[in-house]
Amino acid sequence: MNKYPSWLNALVLAILLAGCLLALPNIYGSVEAVQIADNDGVAYDEARLDEYVRVVENAGVTPEAAFLQDGRVVMRFNSTEDQEIAGERLKAAYERDANVAATLAPRLPDWVRKLGLNPMSLGLDLRGGVYVLLEVDMATAIDSRMKGYQQDFDDRLRDARIRHRVDLADQRLSIRLTSAEDAQAARAIIERTDPNLLVGNGADGNSLTVRMSEAQIKERQDFAIEQNLTTLRNRVNQLGVAEPLVQRQGVDRIVVQLPGVQDPNQLKRILTATATLEFRLVDMSGDEPGSRRYPGRGDESSQVLKRQVIASGDQIIDARTGSDQGQPIVSITLDSAAGERMLQTTMDNLNKPMSTVFIESRRETVMRNGVEEQRTVKTEEVINTATIRGVFKNRFQISGLTPAEAYDLALLLRAGALAAPVYTIDERTIGPSLGQDNIDRGFNAIKIGFLAVIVFMAIYYRAFGLIANVALLSNLVFIVAMLSVLGASLTLPGIAGIVLTVGMAVDANVLIFERIREELAGGAPPQSAINAGYEKALSSITDANITTLIAAVVLFAIGTGPVKGFAITLLLGIITSMFTAIVGTRAIVNLIFGGRKLQSLPV
């Protein structure tokens, strides 16, 4: 009785060894490092690795280790001073070609790294860095879509030779026509263009109102969030920040966590920037429909520009900074559709002026009746007007910017345009010393809780208590191993979840051991008591853990930030403790006591 087959014992041992191997990278700690990534996402090879190492060594610094990881170069250093010198030298040498980021890298032996093993990552509250909570301007997202409809319907009605006027106010289009027949024809054109739009008749019978349906509004809002998530991830990657986290929170908010970053000023400016460009022809007559005057910047004079946009920021697929005759420029590459339109425009308008409009939105705080209010300010300025001297397609240059503006604009255009402006509503900077203090306090809590449980179990349940302690230690190893494999970040609330799991992990063994005691007190033989203890306590253990598991899943599904961090360690802890407390301890008990004639049990 109480004997596991050999294959099951071997399986339990294999799982334990695998857990130890996967958790192993976490014992080596981290050191200062520099990470270099190609601006265009091209994977580096050994030749580029050697080149970067030579640049650093020429600065008098020798990396402790240098290797390729996921197509990027990682160099580890023995001191912060060496890290700073190497980072500055690499940035100076490869500013236009590569992103250089200071970070922390695990001090892994080569054989561990070559196995593809990595330690669990630390959250912002443990590692230090910048936390930014952004709010997406959903009203602007809807307005921008309605402006697209406005221009589209204007073009379609003009092509159909229907006299009209299209106005936009309060996210609703008002289309004025000259007769009921024209109104009917215009309705047919609009419904053909987008049958989901809600089209109504005006009070005079000669006009129409157009607005988006609730489903379209929700779809547009979801698109704005997803597009902004992609753009913000691209922007962070362009800045070279290592291990960033950009994720949606709630209906209209985005959380950005930048581990290791201590200066949030440039990052916040880049994250919230809505700068983009539009290219328009100058209206020489000044009286074309839809034309309006745009102010100039600096030496540029104001210009009356045509309504049609030749190309805009969201059609730019690449942008690089450079200089021409000592002046900063941005070299632009358009996508195919915008390139064709630019080609046709330049062919049809040789020796005519074209302007580049710089557009930026920002939020300002103003006092109104003694109350602070937020208002959105949109700036549209002509930064460059040039005469079209030749035919070009999707590659050209713009000027009229300061060096800093040229660098930032090129970065933003490469990363893509935001679908809607974002505004900072919360920002926190966590210093590395505070992060280390959190780590120390958290792990001290785990140690104290772990030792207290070990002492209690050893004293109260004797040999069986020691077996439970082995299972408890294995449980911690499995939690760390799963966090490492899943790439989940350990946060301060996550440490709280581990501390809670330490206490909960022995609950199952307490139920089993108490049941064994009851069986022995009732006169059952030791072997029967062991079997009954595990069999009869199983249902109670399962029920208790399933209810906690459900709560953990709900917390993980709907929780955000700290709640998620707590939920994931609690979730993993429940799964691992079920295995170690039931299967693991049973395997050890069977090896020690199974198949023997026993007079008593040390329980």
514-536 pLDDT, tens digit each: 888 888 888 888 888 888 888 88
Residue pair 502/587 in contact by the 8 Å Cβ criterion: no
102 confidence band (pLDDT: 50, 70, 90): confident
Residue pair 331/322 in contact by the 8 Å Cβ criterion: yes
Does residue 99 register a pLDDT over 80?
no
Render pLDDT for 186-206 as a digit per residue (tens, 0 to 9). Answer: 999 999 989 999 999 887 778
Residue pair 29/76 in contact by the 8 Å Cβ criterion: no
CA distance 192 to 195: 6
CATH number for the domain whose boundaries are 30-107: 3.30.70.260
DSSP 43: P
For residues 91-112, average pLDDT: 80
pLDDT of residue 256: 86
Render pLDDT for 236-293 as a digit per residue (tens, 0 to 9). Answer: 776 666 567 888 887 888 988 877 665 556 566 677 777 778 899 999 887 887 789 9
pLDDT of residue 75: 92
Render pLDDT for 394-436 as a digit per residue (tens, 0 to 9). Answer: 888 887 777 777 777 777 777 676 778 888 888 877 766 665 6
* Sheet with 164-169: strands ordered across: 164-169, 172-177, 207-211, 198-201
For the chain, give every domain's residue range: 6-24+433-593, 30-107, 138-217, 275-415
pLDDT of residue 343: 92
In this structure, is the dihedral angle defined by the CA atoms of residues 367, 267, 225 and 417, taken in order, positive or negative?
A: positive
Structurally, what CATH architecture does the domain formed by 138-217 represent? 2-Layer Sandwich (3.30)
Closest-CA residue to 353 (of 330, 385, 383, 324): 385
pLDDT of residue 37: 80
Q: How high is the mean pLDDT of the chain? A: 83
| Same fold flag, 138-217 and 275-415 | yes
pLDDT of residue 348: 92
- Distances in Å between the alpha carbon of 551 and those of 168, 337, 568? 48, 51, 11
CA distance 208 to 268: 43
Render pLDDT for 113-142 as a digit per residue (tens, 0 to 9). Answer: 888 888 887 777 777 778 888 888 888 888
CA distance 207 to 63: 72
Residue pair 593/521 in contact by the 8 Å Cβ criterion: no
Residues with Cβ within 8 Å of residue 58, at least 6 apart in sequence? 89
pLDDT of residue 262: 54
Question: Which of the four CATH numbers 1.10.3720.10, 1.10.3730.10, 1.20.1640.10, 3.40.190.10 does domain 6-24+433-593 have?
Answer: 1.20.1640.10
Render pLDDT for 133-168 as a digit per residue (tens, 0 to 9). Answer: 888 888 888 888 888 888 889 888 988 999 988 888
Structurally, what CATH architecture does the domain formed by 275-415 represent? 2-Layer Sandwich (3.30)
DSSP 281-333: EB-SSS-STT-EEE-B-TTPPPEEE-SS-SEEGGGEEEEEEEEETTEEEEEEE
